[in-house]
Structure 1
Amino acid sequence: MGKQMLATVALLMATLSQVFSQHQPPVVRQDIPLDSIRLSDPFILADKKTATYYMTGTGGMLWKSKDLKKWTGPFVIAKTDPASWMGPNPMSWAAELHHYKDKYYYFATFTNRAVKIDTVGENVIERRASHVLVSDNADGPYVPMSDPTYLPASKPTLDGTFWVDKDGKPYMVYCYEWLQNQNGTIEKIELKPDLSGSIGDGKLLFRASESPWSRENVKGSTGPNKVTDGPFLFNTGTGRLGMLWTSWIYDVYTQGVAYSKSGTLDGPWIQEKEPITPPNYGHGMLFQTLNGKWLMSVHSHRSVDGRTMRYPQLFEVDFSGSKLVVGKPYKP
């Protein structure tokens, strides 16, 4: 692993350690502008039932808003089982909220740092996997379902998202982390009809090395980056199946898009040659506002007093045609 990528990993872990070191309940604040909230991997559910926007992300906390301008939070909404593989105080990364068949589901990556599953070169691999919790309400509480695990204990998996494919079956689409396989992948696994567990084994969709736009330096030569991060599925107006996903161009966080030639998760997935968003934006998702406008939520990195912080950002988007087009930043 190059020094640049090692520095990036060290920075991420330092930031996450600060996020997860707080054992006290968070102090709830009101009327906070979006650009004042520090949050990685922001995911926004526009819930018509309550006419409210719910935003979560890494850290697993919840923010609420009626207009996308002013937010109230953070609230604790996830209740994990301390006797499970997650342990008593798991990290929570890239949490997502999905409404499906009259229930609300919390897709997140949980990490138990006390359990080591592998060592690959300089990388000590911790027990980490995507998992799903359920609630009757958008703002929780979200609780475990019947199956203790969804993905193999021997593999570090992350950034699970939700999709119902053309076969009518629900799936989790997730990343198998590059720290272990040295060439990150995006994969799918079928879920039970009530999302309470997974069925069968995961299936490879594509590898990080298939990206024509990501870059890293390895032993003096340039090649594709190893990282796959933040998949999100969508259909264009013409019915094409697209996937947002994120990697790096050297030390710049960057988001691309791929399209499925078959229109299903099985692909094959054709990578666009150029990134879809400006530099320093990634881990995107799409949502439709309560007024019918489509937006993309991403995060960017910003240096504050010598420390790198992550902040949500919204962009206008148009995918009424055959491709997703990202427009100007959106200011609520």
Structure 2
Amino acid sequence: MPKESFRKAKRWHREEIHMRDSFVFTSRSEETYYLFGTTFADGQGDIEPQFEVYISSDLEEWEGPYCAFHPQKGFWGVRHYWAPEVFELNGRFYMFATFKGGIGVHRGTGILVADQPEGPYEPLVNEPATPPEWECLDGTYHRDKEGQNWIVFCHEWTTEYEGKIMAQRLSEDLTQRIGKPFEILNAAKMPWIEKFGDPRIEKDGYLTDAPFFYTTKDGELLMLWSSYSKPELRPDGKSGYTVAIARSKSGDMTGPWTHDEELLMNFNAGHPSLFHDFSGALHICTHYPDTPHGNERPLFLPVEEINNTIVIKEKPDYINWR
């Protein structure tokens, strides 16, 4: 049974769930969908931050929230519980998620592990999987065609200015970094990107968010990711959250990497991931809208692979497409 949260579980329609960074894990054996995301990221009052999970059999009606991960005393991540993603490996379930450490400890991606997709999760090791001397977020998992494990993550614009996406080998049990991380994307080089600013910290730069991988039938490795597009590229004339595609035609993490000119999504939605439904059909999972904050909801759209790329099959009327 899922672990009870401090909030009472109830039934929700998808459009009623307030969530950023939505992620769906499909369990075909259980015929169950598990929805994770950024919800209770910084706690409130005497309640600690945590990761929650919602459960569904049809992607529209959900039950929850349940508690997927609640930190124990001494855990290195104290706030900014962001962007959980769940992957099955060797019969266990691994959550890659962002955490911010205490004073003097950078933000990074930690890896949690559980015996069931809904949790409860516990730390694989009590430290970040990303380099501890860097400010990082949005780590994701990829297992390549040689069976090597990778964590791919964003090296934050708040320290780099030119936000980057980096790749780092992991050991077979995911507990250790192997070799040095290397750059696979520099956001400042994208012609469509809008510089991002945060007046609260008096900094600006080129933001990278949410890498996620997909291998095409011909073996090309696609990386979906998010940032903000220039206002002139959108119908409403405003800068907004978007989804772009980078690709390694060799299928290798080492590339070389190229970048599709056309944006996959450019309508104030983003932080992409992909999942298959029970029938095997492919969907993209994002949150929409990105702004104004407080209105974010999980958005699932059917997609398909055509000519080695991802194409959205159905475009809802309530979205201002271009």
TM-score normalised to the size of structure 2? 0.83
Report what 1:68 is aligned to. 59
Q: Which runs of 5+ in 2 are unaligned?
A: 40-50, 198-203, 231-238, 318-322
Distance 2:264 2:8 in 1: 36
Query: What is the 5 A alignment of 1:274-285?
Result: 274-285=262-273
Distance 1:70 1:90 in 2: 29
Q: Structure 2 vs 1, CA of residues 217 and 288 (structure 1 numbering), >3 Å: closer, same or farther?
A: closer
Moved over 4 A (4+): none
Report what 2:94 is aligned to. 105
In the alignment, structure 1 residue 317 sits paired with structure 2 residue 303: yes
In the alignment, structure 1 residue 189 sits paired with structure 2 residue 180: no
Q: Partner of 2:309: helix, strand, or coil?
A: coil
Q: How many corresponding residue pairs?
A: 288
Q: Partner of 1:209: helix, strand, or coil?
A: helix
Asked whether the equivalents of residues 196 and 206 of structure 2 are also in contact (C-alpha less than 8 Å), the reply is no
Asked whether the equivalents of residues 268 and 291 of structure 2 are also in contact (C-alpha less than 8 Å), the reply is no
In the alignment, structure 1 residue 48 sits paired with structure 2 residue 58: no
Asked whether the equivalents of residues 269 and 290 of structure 2 are also in contact (C-alpha less than 8 Å), the reply is no
TM-fit CA distance, 1:91: 2.7
Q: Which runs of 5+ in 1 are unaligned?
A: 1-23, 118-126, 219-223
Q: Which amino acid aligns with 1:90?
A: R
Question: Per-residue displacement from partner, 1:250-275 (whole Å, max 9, x unpaired)?
Answer: 43111110111321111121111121
Question: Per-residue displacement from partner, 1:66-109 (whole Å, max 9, x unpaired)?
Answer: 111200111111143431432xx433100011111101011100
Q: Which amino acid aligns with 1:196?
A: T
Q: Structure 2 vs 1, CA of residues 217 and 53 (structure 1 numbering), >3 Å: closer, same or farther?
A: closer
TM-fit CA distance, 1:217: 8.2
Q: Which amino acid aligns with 1:99?
A: E
Task: Looking at secondary structure, tell me which structure has more helix per residue.
Answer: 1
Distance 2:126 2:76 in 1: 11
Query: What is the 5 A alignment of 1:202-217?
Result: 202-216=181-195
Asked whether the equivalents of residues 301 and 308 of structure 1 are also in contact (C-alpha less than 8 Å), the reply is no
Sequence identity of aligned pairs in percent?
Answer: 30
Report what 1:33 is aligned to. 13
Q: Partner of 1:82: helix, strand, or coil?
A: coil
Distance 2:180 2:291 in 1: 41
Query: What is the 5 A alignment of 1:13-28?
Result: 25-28=6-9
TM-fit CA distance, 1:49: 2.4
Asked whether the equivalents of residues 94 and 113 of structure 2 are also in contact (C-alpha less than 8 Å), the reply is yes
Which of 257, 280, 285 is residue 297 of structure 1 equivalent to? 285
RMSD: 2.2
Choose 129-138 or 307-316, whichever is displaced more: 307-316
TM-score normalised to the size of structure 1? 0.81
Distance 1:217 1:281 in 2: 16
